[in-house]
Amino acid sequence: MYAILCAGFKRMLPGEPTLPDLIAQNPYAYWDALKAADAAWRGGVVNVSEMETLLTDLVDRQLTSATR
């Protein structure tokens, strides 16, 4: 997802730490979001809202760091 986002902007997104680094710093939040999506899928529903919330927050953190 991060590579596609960067490709869409035709450049690496500014800011440090990067989204992959932020996920690596707290992988449990990412895993929990994956588990929530999997549980919804098993119930016949597509629901990636927890992942969307997490990734939105992390991308915001990366981009906000570039303005400091």
Q: How far apart are CA 38 and CA 11, in angstroms?
A: 31
Contact between 18 and 55 (Cβ < 8 Å): no
Alpha helices in the chain (DSSP H): 2-9, 19-25, 27-42, 49-66
Residue that wins the pLDDT comparison between 67 and 27: 27
> What's the pTM value of the predicted model, to 2 decimals?
0.87
Give the pLDDT band (50/70/90) at residue 11: very high
CA dist 25 and 44 (Å) reads: 32
Please choose, from the candidates 68, 67, 66, 57, the residue with its C-alpha nearest in 3D space to the C-alpha of residue 22.
Answer: 57
Query: Does the pLDDT value for residue 68 go beyond 90?
Result: no
